[in-house]
């Protein structure tokens, strides 16, 4: 079965007519040819039937589709459908149901009913509590922890030696004492306070290594590590907890020495997808932030069958996880009940004040004021009996967080009111619930026009949560989950280990943040930039000296590097353990950068290096493996893109030879518009993808999907075109694109095509 059918989204088999004359009749239309020869296998509307059950849809140009039909159809007897007949049937199929325009016409996209995704649930719960328990931001340029040092084991201000900003917490005094007047080796102490930035959501392990007494708090009211009584032996104290990414959470560490022979302390961690290391100074900030409530029970994965995470399924596991989340949240609210309700145990109005707070909580969770019937069901019913205020509040919180009004945010109303607009703004940009500024905008009537919505979106884009949302998109766009499985041959790359992988993650994160928020924000710079962020360890691998001790922005030259296309982390994750992989790299570039549609091959062929001659290059092996016509229908797209990266080995280092022979990275690539492109290396692909309308539109669509969890066409057939046109006019600025997508979706009926901004 020719594999081009899988790349176009359907299996295309033209059946022979019982009479050959019918197929070649000059007066037959394309529709007549299709209905006489193709309906049996592919259905009246190309929906697929029986053996050929995939639909006839795809993104090839009419010219390419015609050429492929003429070359390969009917299967095994291509000479029976050539020339005018092939052109006729191709045009009919293209116009009737194959092309993207035909697909949009035949099956108009619609806003799908969906629940909160895993990320949306966790972020919403965190900010829902934050609105009542407090949210303070500590994000600033200063790094480190505020350290207060004492000359004794106790924290007596009369014995305080000094305050300073420390970082990292990594001290070894041996049998001595800290430098400074008045310190004695027998006893001294220190306290560190501040915030720690968490780069991604997941489980963090914190480790304190010391011979002495310590207590550690991380995003907690009580110590998560309490080893205040010590025996003078060097020990490691460990604890794991789940934290949200893109946040600053409070951290505190108390330390003392009293008559122990030695004194030392190391504060270490192992972040998600990272390695155990001393927490670097760059992760700390000297001011303490408010705690960020994090549901400790992770939810099951979301549906990603359409290429982006959507909350369209409800499983027993999901229901149980949200129930546990509701119970944990209710317990936290009850623990702080009197503070939240502004009351106390002996207050005669305590019950009424807790009831009033419960109503405010439910309204915030539902993202709009409660109606009288809702108040009776979700609040008053629990406070009407003789149960304690704590029990009534607990039941109110649980019912609210299990309600569809919380779990299923509204994206359907074509003419949303101010409350719905605010809810959409928070969901799109923060994966969360509206903050107090949005509530003020509602009350003051400042969410009634597109410009109102845009002003709020611009404000919200300055919040760290918007940066975290964009980083989460990049993780999906670049398939960074695959980096978790990077494992290289230790004989070929003896010093390449998980510490290097962790450094590469940080290198890519710095590049993305710098380009988007400190640089131009230009999508094209993501592909065209010629620099990398390297520290000393990475510098040794990738051919440059780094002496600052941290990460430096280093230009590698336009012929050596081309943005994310050639970042060593991606090159390593799309490669074999001991060699490059043009197929893996080519598939990634085709789908995510060039915006080409590829389907799995009908028969997967395993690459076995042992079956090739020892002196063959990887390019020669791939060319031989995929030379069949069935394979080349897809690999005519994949191979040229993958071959362009052959100057990079399995860990992303530049090379000029393989097997003692010069690397050949040149190929001819046929674009989505059926025009040839001479590729001479990664720079050719970067320039093409960055400047081509097809690549730009594909990026816009992917970002839209990630923000809205919906297809652009669900908000109007013109949506994608208009967003792309605005994207081009504004120098392909990605943060601005985030804003405009948000305005389009959140404003709904307020936003009109062609409106002046």
Residue 156, CA distances (Å) to 178, 184, 288 in order: 17, 16, 21
For 278, 557, 649, the CA distances from 537, given in Å and listed in that order, are 16, 20, 18
Confidence of residue 483 (pLDDT cuts 50, 70, 90): very high
pLDDT on residue 134: 85
3-state SS track over 189-225? EEEEEEEEEECCCEEEEEEEEECCEEEEEECCCCCCE
For 242-315, where are the alpha helices, taking DSSP H only? Answer: none
- The pLDDT assigned to 609 comes to 77
Lowest mean pLDDT among 65-69, 244-248, 384-388, 698-702: 65-69
Question: Which pLDDT score is estimated for 18?
Answer: 37
Q: What is the pLDDT of residues 496-516, one digit of tens each?
A: 999 999 999 999 999 999 999
- For 607: left if phi > 0, alpha if psi spans -120 to 50, otherwise beta; the answer is beta
**What integer pLDDT is reported at residue 39 of this predicted model?**
75
Residues 260, 264, 269, 270: is their CA dihedral positive or negative? negative
Q: Which residues contact 200 (CB under 8 A, 6 or more apart)?
A: 245, 246, 271, 272, 273, 471, 475
Q: Where do the H-state alpha helices sit in 298-411? A: 316-335, 337-341, 350-366, 372-375, 381-383, 389-402, 404-407
pLDDT digits (tens, 9 = 90+) for 444-478: 999 999 999 999 999 999 999 999 999 999 999 99
pLDDT at 30: 86
Closest CA to 558 of 687, 471, 440: 687
For residue 4, what pLDDT is reported?
40
In whole numbers, what is the pLDDT of the chain averaged over residues?
A: 90
* Between 74 and 388, the higher pLDDT residue: 388
pLDDT at 337 over 60: yes
CA nearest to 504, candidates 539, 476, 470, 528: 539
C-beta separation of 642 from 15 below 8 A: no
Condensed to tens digits (0 to 9), the pLDDT of residues 199-232 reads: 999 999 999 999 999 999 999 999 999 999 999 9
Average pLDDT in the 579-586 region?
Answer: 96
CA of residue 629 relative to chain centroid, distance = 37
Residue 137 has pLDDT above 80, yes or no: no
Lowest mean pLDDT among 5-9, 262-266, 551-555: 5-9
How far is C-alpha 536 from the geometric centre of its chain's CA atoms? 28
**Digit-coded pLDDT (tens) for 512-553:** 999 999 989 999 999 999 999 999 999 998 988 898 878 999
Give the number of other Cβ atoms within 10 Å of residue 153's Cβ.
18
Which is it for the CA torsion 136, 141, 143, 146, positive or negative? negative
What is the structure's pLDDT at 749? 56
Q: Which domains does the chain have, with CATH numbers?
A: 4-106 (1.10.760), 118-135+299-407 (no CATH), 145-285 (2.60.120.1560), 415-478+693-757 (no CATH), 479-691 (no CATH)
Q: How many CA atoms lie within 13 A of 322 on its CB side?
A: 23
Dihedrals phi, psi of 423, to nearest 5 degrees: -65, -40
Position 14 scores a pLDDT of: 37
Q: What average pLDDT does the segment 305-327 reach? A: 91
Nearest to 569 by CA among 645, 495, 516, 502: 502
pLDDT by residue (tens digit) across 673-698? 888 999 999 999 999 999 999 999 99
Residue 15 pLDDT: 36
Backbone phi and psi for residue 238, each to the nearest 5 degrees, phi listed first = -125, 150
| Pairing assessment for the beta strands 667-670 and 661-662 based on DSSP bridges | unpaired
Say if residue 343's pLDDT is above 70: yes
**pLDDT over 70 (residue 13):** no
Distance CA 610, CA 608 (A): 5
Q: How far apart are CA 411 and CA 112, in angstroms?
A: 8
Q: What gap in Å lies between CA 548 and CA 673, rounded to an integer?
A: 47
Per-residue confidence (pLDDT) for residue 76, from 0 to 100? 66
- Asked if pLDDT for residue 744 goes beyond 60, the answer is yes
Locate 527 and state its tokens.
Answer: 């592909």
* Largest separation between any pair of C-alpha atoms in the chain: 106
Among the ranges given (62-71, 240-249, 342-351), the one the predictor scored with the smallest mean pLDDT: 62-71
Other C-beta atoms closer than 10 Å to the C-beta of 627 total: 11
In three-state secondary structure terms, 26 is: coil
Q: In degrees rounded to 5, what are phi and psi of residue 663?
A: -70, 135
- Is 709:424 a contact under the CB 8 Å cutoff? no
Q: Which of 444, 453, 462 is nearest to 516 (CA)?
A: 462
Please state, in angstroms and rounded to a whole number, the distance separating the CA atoms of residues 353 and 343.
7
Of residues 557 and 426, more confidence is placed in 426
* Mean local confidence (pLDDT), 38-51: 78
What is the arithmetic mean of pLDDT over 142-167?
Answer: 95
Sorted by sequence, the CB contacts under 8 Å of residue 269 that are 6+ apart come out as 204, 205, 206, 207, 276, 277, 279
């Amino acid at each position: 079965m020719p594999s081009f059918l899988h790349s176009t989204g359907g299996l295309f088999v033209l059946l022979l007519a019982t009479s050959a004359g019918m197929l070649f009749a000059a007066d037959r239309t394309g529709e007549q040819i299709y209905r006489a020869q193709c309906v049996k296998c592919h259905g009246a509307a190309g929906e697929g039937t029986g053996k050929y059950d995939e639909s006839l849809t795809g993104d090839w140009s009419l010219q390419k589709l015609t050429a492929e039909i003429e070359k390969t159809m009917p299967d095994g007897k291509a000479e029976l459908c050539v020339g005018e007949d092939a052109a006729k049937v191709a045009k009919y199929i293209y116009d009737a149901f194959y092309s993207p325009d035909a697909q949009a016409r035949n099956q108009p996209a619609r806003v799908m009913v969906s629940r909160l995704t895993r990320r949306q649930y966790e972020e919403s719960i965190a900010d829902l509590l934050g609105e009542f328990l407090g949210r303070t931001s500590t994000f600033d340029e200063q790094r480190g922890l505020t350290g207060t040092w004492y000359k004794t084991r106790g924290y007596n201000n009369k014995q305080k030696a000094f305050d300073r900003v420390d970082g990292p917490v990594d001290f070894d005094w041996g049998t001595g004492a800290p430098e400074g007047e008045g310190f004695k080796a027998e006893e001294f102490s220190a306290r560190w306070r501040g915030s720690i930035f968490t780069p991604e959501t997941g489980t963090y392990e914190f480790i304190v290594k010391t011979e002495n007494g310590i207590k550690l708090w991380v995003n907690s009211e009580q110590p998560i590590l309490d080893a205040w009584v010590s025996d003078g032996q060097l020990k490691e104290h460990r604890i794991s907890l789940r934290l949200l990414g893109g946040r600053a959470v409070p951290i505190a560490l108390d330390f003392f020495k009293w008559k122990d022979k030695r004194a030392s302390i190391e504060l270490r961690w192992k972040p998600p997808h990272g390695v155990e290391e001393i927490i670097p100074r760059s992760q700390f900030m000297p001011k303490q932030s408010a705690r960020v409530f994090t549901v400790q029970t992770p939810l099951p994965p979301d549906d990603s069958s359409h290429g982006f995470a959507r909350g369209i399924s409800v499983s027993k596991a999901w229901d149980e996880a949200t129930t546990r989340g509701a119970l944990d949240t209710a317990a936290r609210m009850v623990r702080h009940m009197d503070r939240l309700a502004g009351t106390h145990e002996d207050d005669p109005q305590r019950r009424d004040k807790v009831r009033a707070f419960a109503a405010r909580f439910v309204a915030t969770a539902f993202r709009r004021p409660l109606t009288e019937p809702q108040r009776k069901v979700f609040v008053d019913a629990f406070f009407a009996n003789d149960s304690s205020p704590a029990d009534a509040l607990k039941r109110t919180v649980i019912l609210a967080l299990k309600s569809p009004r919380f779990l299923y945010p509204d994206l359907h109303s074509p003419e949303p009111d101010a409350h719905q607009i605010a809810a959409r703004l928070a969901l799109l940009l923060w994966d969360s619930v509206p903050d107090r500024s949005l509530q003020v905008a509602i009350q003051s009537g400042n969410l009634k026009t597109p410009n109102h919505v845009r002003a709020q979106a611009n404000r919200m884009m300055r919040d760290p949560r918007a940066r975290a949302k964009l980083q989460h998109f990049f993780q999906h766009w670049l398939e960074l989950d695959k980096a978790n499985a990077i494992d290289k041959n230790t004989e070929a790359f003896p010093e390449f280990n998980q510490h290097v992988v962790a450094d590469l993650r940080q290198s890519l994160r710095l590049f993305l943040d710098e380009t988007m928020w400190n640089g131009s924000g230009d999508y094209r710079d993501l592909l065209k930039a010629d620099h990398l962020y390297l520290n000393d360890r990475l510098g040794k691998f990738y051919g440059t000296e780094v002496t600052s001790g941290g990460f430096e922005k280093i230009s590698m030259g336009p012929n050596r590097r081309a943005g994310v296309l050639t970042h060593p982390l991606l090159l390593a994750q799309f490669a074999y353990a001991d060699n490059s992989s043009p197929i893996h790299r080519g598939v990634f570039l085709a789908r995510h950068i060039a915006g080409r549609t590829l389907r799995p091959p009908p028969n997967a062929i395993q690459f076995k290096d042992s079956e090739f001659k020892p002196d063959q290059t990887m390019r020669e092996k791939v060319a031989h493996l995929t030379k069949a016509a069935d394979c080349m229908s897809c690999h005519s797209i994949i191979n040229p893109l993958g071959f362009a990266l052959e100057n990079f080995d399995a860990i992303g280092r530049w090379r000029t030879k393989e097997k003692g022979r010069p690397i050949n990275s040149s190929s001819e690539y046929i674009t989505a518009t059926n025009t040839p492109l001479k590729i001479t290396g990664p720079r050719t692909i970067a320039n093409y993808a960055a400047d081509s309308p097809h690549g730009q539109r594909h990026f816009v669509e992917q970002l839209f999907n990630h923000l809205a969890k919906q297809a652009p066409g669900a908000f109007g057939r013109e949506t994608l075109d208009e967003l792309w046109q605005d994207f081009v006019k504004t120098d392909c600025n990605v943060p601005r694109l985030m804003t405009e997508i948000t305005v389009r979706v959140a404003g709904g009926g307020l936003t009109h095509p062609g409106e002046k901004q």
